[in-house]
A and B are shown apart, each in its own frame.
Chain A
Amino acid sequence: MVDDPADRVADEVADAVLDGNAVAGALASVLGVEATSIPGRCAHCGTVSMVGALRAYMRAPGAVLRCPACGQVVLRLVETERSVYLDARGAAFLRFDR
């Protein structure tokens, strides 16, 4: 198999998608509770997934978590020196059980 450098880059980029686990620490620091084992409903397609199962793009100015079914943005997270921003507009809900 010919090892084409372009393929390697493409693989590396494709491989760069992680799961919601990757933002577990940041989410816990923002919400105060473990937030990857909770279900969330995609505001675009309605699919309910655990936050840990969202597809996480970490190599960006911030973290972008996408629905595993439709690929739309469910959560966005930006960590600055002083704050953490969380955009949950792409989630119709996040369910935290008591």
Chain B
Amino acid sequence: MQELRLYRSATRSTTISLQAALERGSVTERFVTRGFVGRRGTPGDPASDTARRVPPGQYLTSGFPVLSAGPTPRTALGQWSLSIEGLVREPSRWSWAQFMELPTRDWTVDISCVTKWTHLDMRWRGVSVDTLLEHVDLRPEAAYVVAWSDGGYTTNLPLADVVNGQAFVAFEYDGAPLTPEHGGPARLVVPARYFWKSAKWVRGLRILDHDEPGFWESFGYHNRGDQWREERYSGD
């Protein structure tokens, strides 16, 4: 039984002989474990609609894995606030009660995490970032955003990527209040990017004229994180 599998050279689309590949040093040999398949959903027919919605390198899940870089913050709603600050004429700030009075809408979106799970049709309720930005006057040089959270987490995005319905601050998931483990009371959601950009426990958006890599971006992860271009790590 063949146990070694030759993988195609990353830079060529044609297969080459094992000897040539080893000489070239550009191919990884992988030991394949007999009988191991792993637990992951397959999209089934590659031409199906579902398959087309799964970005490259991702696996379907129906669960909602909890990932965290630290202990779960638990901010009481009475202490909670959300602010927009930085390159705005006047910062804006909402208490929870005020935040709850803003116009909300429902979103059903596909979410991809860089750890390779993708969950289709996740249902959220929240406030569009557009709505929040209506309450501030952006200075002309405003071009980037840093979302910051309880517990010290940050992530960065171009301003252009969070406007026009591309991002929202969610406070409900699947019809129920967002639990602390999943980022509650409120988190940023940016469906067109790997989920590390959807900052849990978000407390503010800081508007900048320059890009400021956040917690993972400053350390090995891709600055933009577009799952359709498989932008996982810097250098991808």
A–B proximity contact (CB within 8 A): yes
From known contacts A10-B181, A61-B196, infer whether A78 and B219 are also in contact, taking CB-CB under 8 Å: yes
Q: Are the CB atoms of B220 and A13 closer together than 8 Å?
A: no
Q: Are the CB atoms of B68 and A57 closer together than 8 Å?
A: yes
Q: Are the CB atoms of B68 and A61 closer together than 8 Å?
A: no
Q: A64–B196 Cα gap in the complex (Å)? A: 14
Chain B residues with CB below 8 A from A66, complex form: 70
B68: which of A13, A78, A85 is its contact (CB, 8 Å)? Answer: A13
Interface string of A17-36 (1 = CB under 8 A from B): 10000000000000000000
Taking CB atoms and an 8 Å cut-off, the chain A residues in 73-89 that contact chain B are: 73, 76, 78, 80, 83, 85, 87
Q: Number of B interface residues, CB 8 Å?
A: 22
Q: B101: shortest Cβ distance to chain A, in Å?
A: 27
A1 interface residue per 8 A CB criterion = no
For chain A, the bracket of interface size reads 20 to 34
Q: B111: shortest Cβ distance to chain A, in Å?
A: 14
Chain A residues with CB below 8 A from B232, complex form: 80
The 6 closest A-B pairs by CB, nearest first: A85-B220, A78-B220, A64-B69, A60-B69, A59-B67, A80-B233
Chain B residues with CB below 8 A from A3, complex form: none
Q: A78–B233 Cα gap in the complex (Å)? A: 10
A60: which of B68, B179, B181, B220 is its contact (CB, 8 Å)? Answer: B68
Taking CB atoms and an 8 Å cut-off, the chain B residues in 53-91 that contact chain A are: 65-72
- B-side interface residues toward A, CB under 8 Å? 65-72, 113-115, 152, 179-181, 196, 216, 219-221, 232-233
A16 interface residue per 8 A CB criterion = yes
A16: which of B68, B152, B179, B221 is its contact (CB, 8 Å)? Answer: B68
Interface string of A55-74 (1 = CB under 8 A from B): 00101111010100001010
Q: A98: shortest Cβ distance to chain B, in Å?
A: 30
Chain B residues with CB below 8 A from A14, complex form: 71-72
Q: Are the CB atoms of B221 and A61 closer together than 8 Å?
A: yes
Residue of A14, A76, A87 contacting most chain B CB atoms (<10 Å)? A76
Q: A9–B181 Cα gap in the complex (Å)? A: 8
Chain B residues with CB below 8 A from A83, complex form: 220, 233
Q: B117: shortest Cβ distance to chain A, in Å?
A: 12
Q: Are the CB atoms of A78 and B71 closer together than 8 Å?
A: no
Minimum CB distance partner of A60 in chain B: B69
A6 interface residue per 8 A CB criterion = yes
Q: B186: shortest Cβ distance to chain A, in Å?
A: 17
